[in-house]
């Protein structure tokens, strides 16, 4: 016997993405969504009241003998299970947050509900890259690299041209590429390493510092400029610092006026829910929309766990790779080839 609320609760298991506005802490978003879901669950009609057997004493007038008291059993709804006494049916819906976004930055934030939290773990462990758009402004430097805090120094930026900026970006990207190869712990002389590198499937193995896998300037209008970044293991503070360092490299200084995440692994900004749509209905729709993606992430996560028996699973990985390649074609076209793979690299030692 499942009630409507229980069915609704089961439909909520899964992952979805919201668009986090700037200036709001992610914990606030998580709590808002949790309370919205709870409200919807508890507004479902409660199960029918339980009946309890009660014996009512009937005074029998005609039988004047005091021994013949008649007890008549009857079924009455017991108040003990009334919703006002028992409280709401659901007290907690587990809502987990994927890769965090700090209060200053905005963009796609992946949330998991219920059993989706296990998949969320897989997503966090897998080496998916994330897309960011960084807004920069030349001429100032502040103490935490964002444009609102205390100004430390002011500089000129007349000498900065797009050409110089791109040269600096290329240099940074080269350094990161080198770091990527180091942290992938791969012997570069093997055939396997060659194949992975050709396909752009090299990933940092285990823990690594933030690594940029793609970096380019998409808009340059001094003092404002906009960078597009693909990266792994990043923090938003690191990205703001990146703008600062770009400014220093150009013999000027720069502050970051906006960090916006446009993609987190397979979750893109187009399908993220904006603030008005954080209702239970929209969330359930979004979860249903991402169900397929969720399943893929779970599978790839499980393959990674059973890394020991990888001889056979290498083929399956190939399969998934081709599947994802098909589903995310447009992305692959848009940006550099070294990103957007949910599938983890096969560890060479265990294979």
Partner 1 sequence: MHLCRRCVSLLLSRPLLSAALQPSTHTLHQRSHHILLQPPVHRLTQRHSRETWTPCGRRNLTDHQAASPDVYNNKTDLAEREAEKHIVPFENLNVHQISNQESLSDMGLDAVVRPSPLQEISEEEAIQIQVPSALPPDSFTLKPYVDQSETLSKLVQLGVNLWELEQRPNVGSMLVRLDFHADVAPKLLFLKDLGVEESKLGTILTKNPFILTESLDNLEARVSYLKTKKFSQESVAVMVSKAPYLLNFSVERLDNRLGFFQKQLGLSAEKTRNVVTRLPKLLCRSLEPIKENLKVCELEFGFRGNEIQHIVTTVPKVLIANKRKLTQIFDFVHNTMDVPHSLIAKFPQVLNAKFLRIKERHLFLEYLGRAQYQPSQPNYISLDRLVFLPDDVFCSDVALATLEDFERFQKTL
- Strand spans (E) along 98-183: 106-113, 130-138, 140-142, 151-154
In the set 58, 80, 170, 198, which binds partner 1 (CB under 8 A)? 80
In the set 4, 22, 171, 292, which binds partner 1 (CB under 8 A)? 22
- Among 231, 263, 233, 260, smallest CA distance to 330 is for 263
Q: How far is CA 297 from CA 25, 169, 304, in A?
A: 26, 32, 11
What binding mask, one character per residue, do residues 101-130 give for partner 1 by CB under 8 A, x or -?
A: -----x------------------------
Coil, helix or strand at residue 250: coil
To the query of whether residue 144 is one of the catalytic residues in this protein, the response is no
What's the closest the beta carbon of residue 91 comes to partner 1, in angstroms?
10
28 binds partner 1 (CB under 8 A): no
218 binds partner 1 (CB under 8 A): no
86 binds partner 1 (CB under 8 A): yes
226 binds partner 1 (CB under 8 A): no
What's the closest the beta carbon of residue 106 comes to partner 1, in angstroms?
6
> Quick one: 115 or 277, whose CB is closer to partner 1?
277
285 binds partner 1 (CB under 8 A): no
**What is residue 146's DSSP assignment?**
B
> Quick one: 79 or 175, whose CB is closer to partner 1?
79
What binding mask, one character per residue, do residues 233-272 give for partner 1 by CB under 8 A, x or -?
A: ---------------------------x--------xx-x
Residue whose pair of structure tokens reads 């998580």 in the numeric block: 30
First to last CA, the chain: 47
Apex 293 CA angle, 291 and 294, nearest 5: 60
> Quick one: 44 or 310, whose CB is closer to partner 1?
44
Task: Kindly state the helix (H) or strand (E) to which residue 168 belongs, with its residue range.
Answer: helix 162-183
What's the closest the beta carbon of residue 77 comes to partner 1, in angstroms?
10
What's the closest the beta carbon of residue 203 comes to partner 1, in angstroms?
28
Residues linked to residue 151 through DSSP beta bridges, in sequence order: 142
Catalytic choice (13, 68, 102, 144): 102
In the set 82, 154, 159, 289, which binds partner 1 (CB under 8 A)? 82
Token output for 4: 């409507």
Token output for 133: 């758009």
Asked if 128 contacts 115 with a C-beta cutoff of 8 angstroms, the reply is: no
Residue whose pair of structure tokens reads 């103490």 in the numeric block: 143
> Quick one: 274 or 319, whose CB is closer to partner 1?
274
What's the closest the beta carbon of residue 84 comes to partner 1, in angstroms?
5
67 binds partner 1 (CB under 8 A): yes
Binding residues with partner 1: total (CB under 8 A): 26
Task: Kindly state the helix (H) or strand (E) to which residue 52 belongs, with its residue range.
Answer: strand 51-58
Coil, helix or strand at residue 187: coil
What's the closest the beta carbon of residue 261 comes to partner 1, in angstroms?
11
Give Cα 330 distance to the centre of its chain: 21
Asked if 90 contacts 9 with a C-beta cutoff of 8 angstroms, the reply is: yes
Token output for 346: 């096969």
- Which amino acids are annotated catalytic? 102
Interaction site with partner 1 (CB under 8 A): 19, 21-24, 52, 67, 69, 71, 78-80, 82, 84-88, 106, 260, 269-270, 272, 274-276
């Amino acid at each position: 016997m499942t009630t409507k609320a229980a069915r609704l609760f089961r439909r909520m298991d899964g992952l979805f993405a919201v668009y986090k506005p700037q200036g709001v802490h992610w914990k606030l978003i998580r709590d808002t969504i949790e309370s919205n879901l709870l409200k919807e669950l508890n507004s479902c009609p409660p199960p029918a009241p339980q009946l309890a057997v009660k014996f009512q004493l009937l005074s029998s007038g005609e039988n004047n003998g005091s021994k013949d008291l008649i007890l008549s059993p009857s079924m009455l709804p017991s108040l003990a299970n009334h919703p006002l006494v028992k409280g709401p049916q659901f007290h907690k819906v587990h809502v987990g947050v994927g890769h965090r976004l700090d209060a200053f930055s905005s963009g796609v934030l992946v949330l998991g509900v219920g059993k989706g939290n296990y998949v969320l773990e897989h997503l966090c462990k897998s080496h998916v890259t994330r897309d960011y758009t960084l807004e920069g402004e030349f001429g100032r430097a502040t103490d935490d690299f964002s444009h609102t805090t205390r100004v430390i120094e002011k500089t000129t930026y007349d000498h900065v041209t797009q050409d110089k900026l791109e040269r600096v970006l290329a240099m940074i990207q080269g350094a990161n590429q080198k770091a990527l190869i180091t942290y992938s712990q791969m012997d570069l002389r093997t055939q396997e390493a060659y194949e992975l590198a050709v396909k752009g499937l090299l990933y940092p193995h285990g823990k690594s510092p933030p690594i940029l896998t793609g970096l380019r300037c998409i808009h340059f209008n001094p003092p404002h400029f906009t960078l597009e970044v693909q990266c792994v293991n990043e923090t938003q503070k690191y990205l703001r610092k990146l703008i600062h360092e770009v400014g220093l490299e150009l013999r000027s200084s720069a502050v970051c006026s906006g960090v916006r995440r446009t993609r987190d692994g397979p979750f893109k900004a187009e399908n993220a829910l904006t603030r008005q749509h954080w209702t239970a209905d929209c969330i359930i729709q979004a979860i249903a929309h991402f169900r397929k993606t969720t399943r893929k992430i779970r599978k790839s996560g499980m393959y990674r766990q059973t890394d020991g028996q990888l001889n056979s699973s290498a083929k399956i990985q190939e399969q998934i790779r081709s599947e994802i390649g098909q589903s995310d074609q447009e992305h692959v076209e848009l940006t550099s080839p070294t990103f957007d793979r949910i599938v983890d690299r096969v560890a060479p030692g265990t294979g």
